[in-house]
Amino acid sequence: MKRALPTLCLLAALLLSCNPIPATWTPVNPSPASTELQVTIVPEKMPTAAPLWTPTATLVRPSAQPQASGTPVVAEKALDPSVVAVVNGQAILRADYDRQLAQAATYLLKQPGLEAKSEAGQQALQKLQEQVLNWMIDQVLIEQAAAAKGIKISESQVETEIARIRGQDQKRFNDWLAANGLTLETLRQQVRTDLITAAVRDAVTASLSRRVMQAHFRHILTSTESAAQAALKQLREGQNFIAVARQLSEDETTRKNGGDLGFLPKGVMPPAFEEVGFALKPGEISGVVQSEFGFHIIQLVEIDPEREVSDELWPMVQQRAFEDWLAAQRAQANIQRNLGQD
């Protein structure tokens, strides 16, 4: 199986576009936010609308979406059936959850090859229930942080973005809303969510330095462990890394240049890759490392202790920092769940 693994999109996680900043991490990969404030919707093409719980940026993160579990709190008494969760005393209403879940399910079932009645479809829909609730919990945490930081989004900001999405063709815009189960009001909610998330993200990451230690990596990527072990065997027999990468790597983006990924800061590659790669010494080659992309063999070429992060990679560094911040918010939050009640 040949796989294209664009360096940037390999480096992120959350697969719906190529520009980061999702709300949760997933699958990927991916949680809210958008790097330069760009809503998921592209007015010119008007693709199937991503539901509110999906990443709002254009980067991609194929990793698995983290659970927005926080610190579960055992309620002294059962929550009202009309409430699906309470986050630091703020309720998430079941009616809002049901609305989000319906939109998310509509979007999910439009994905090629996924049938609602199939076993895979049923499993995906079951998992979706928890993912949507996790996203809504994360969004409450983000909005609470926005309030604490004095961050506000004006109606004019929202309307400016709506106008960009609408473009010049009102009928096409209306048809697109209807086809995706959206109303103008739910679209406004999505735009506001994106704007708030991006503003909080920018505030949280404002102190990050763009001059950081970076590592120059090469890698060989395969879809099976046996193929990776075969490549590793050739390397241990003394064959040249670049030559083996050109012959055996399935990363079509880097294969021709010998698997060269260039200089990368921490925060853009999958955690498993970074844990091993940044522990290598210059010239050293790793064993087989599994990530959500497949099986890697990594070579550390050199280290630059203070290199400016490129404009292409900077959003991913911001995203990882934002995800770490959001994970800390979940861990500290008082969260009660009530998803099981009908």
The answer to whether residue 144 sits within a structural domain is yes
The per-residue pLDDT for 128 is 92
Look at residue 42 and tell me whether its pLDDT is greater than 70: no
| Whole-angstrom distance, CA of residue 114 vs CA of residue 48 | 15
| DSSP-derived pairing of the beta strands 211-222 and 90-93 | unpaired
The answer to whether residue 316 sits within a structural domain is no
Decide if 327 contacts 66 (C-beta within 8 A): yes
* Cβ burial, residue 281 (10 Å; 0-12/13-18/19+): exposed
The answer to whether residue 314 sits within a structural domain is no
Tell me if the pTM is above 0.85. Answer: no
Identify the three-state secondary structure at position 226.
helix
Per-position DSSP letters for 89-155, written without gaps between them: TEEEEHHHHHHHHHHHHHHHTTSTT--TTSHHHHHHHHHHHHHHHHHHHHHHHHHHHHHHHT----H
Give residue-wise pLDDT tens across range 49-100.
444 433 333 223 333 344 444 444 444 467 889 999 999 999 999 999 998 8
Look at residue 231 and tell me whether its pLDDT is greater than 80: yes
Examine the domain organization and report whether 219 and 298 are in the same domain: yes
> Percentages helix, strand, coil for the chain, rounded to the nearest 5?
40, 20, 40
| Residue recorded with tokens 């939050």 | 333
Examine the domain organization and report whether 278 and 327 are in the same domain: no
| Whole-angstrom distance, CA of residue 309 vs CA of residue 152 | 29
Examine the domain organization and report whether 151 and 192 are in the same domain: yes
pLDDT averaged over every residue in the chain: 80
Examine the domain organization and report whether 77 and 191 are in the same domain: yes
Q: Which residue has the higher pLDDT, 292 or 72?
A: 292
Contacts of 265 (CB under 8 A, 6+ apart): 212, 213, 214, 307, 309, 313, 317
| Whole-angstrom distance, CA of residue 84 vs CA of residue 240 | 57
Examine the domain organization and report whether 219 and 202 are in the same domain: no
- Residue 186: HSE in the Cβ half-sphere, 13 Å Cα cutoff: 18
Examine the domain organization and report whether 138 and 110 are in the same domain: yes
| Residue recorded with tokens 């005393």 | 89
Examine the domain organization and report whether 252 and 141 are in the same domain: no
The answer to whether residue 342 sits within a structural domain is no
Examine the domain organization and report whether 195 and 231 are in the same domain: no
Min mean pLDDT across 37-41, 101-105, 124-128, 197-201 is at: 37-41
Examine the domain organization and report whether 88 and 58 are in the same domain: yes
Residue 143's domain comprises: 8-206+322-337
Count of the separate structural domains present in the chain = 2
The answer to whether residue 315 sits within a structural domain is no
Please report the beta strands in the chain, taking only residues with DSSP state E, as ranges in sequence order: 71-72, 83-87, 90-93, 211-222, 260-265, 285-291, 294-308, 334-337
Examine the domain organization and report whether 12 and 142 are in the same domain: yes
Examine the domain organization and report whether 297 and 172 are in the same domain: no
What percentage of residues in the chain have a pLDDT greater than 90? 62
Q: Which residue has the higher pLDDT, 222 or 11?
A: 222
CATH number at 146 reads: 1.10.4030.10
Q: Which of 243, 170, 214 is nearest to 11 (CA)?
A: 214
Q: Which residue has the higher pLDDT, 149 or 68?
A: 149
The answer to whether residue 2 sits within a structural domain is no
The per-residue pLDDT for 159 is 95
Identify the three-state secondary structure at position 264.
strand
Decide if 58 contacts 17 (C-beta within 8 A): yes
Give residue-wise pLDDT tens across range 242-256.
999 999 999 999 999
The per-residue pLDDT for 339 is 83
The answer to whether residue 76 sits within a structural domain is yes
CATH number at 283 reads: 3.10.50.40
The per-residue pLDDT for 233 is 98
Look at residue 10 and tell me whether its pLDDT is greater than 90: no
Examine the domain organization and report whether 196 and 286 are in the same domain: no
Neighbours of 157 (CB within 10 A): 16
The per-residue pLDDT for 109 is 81
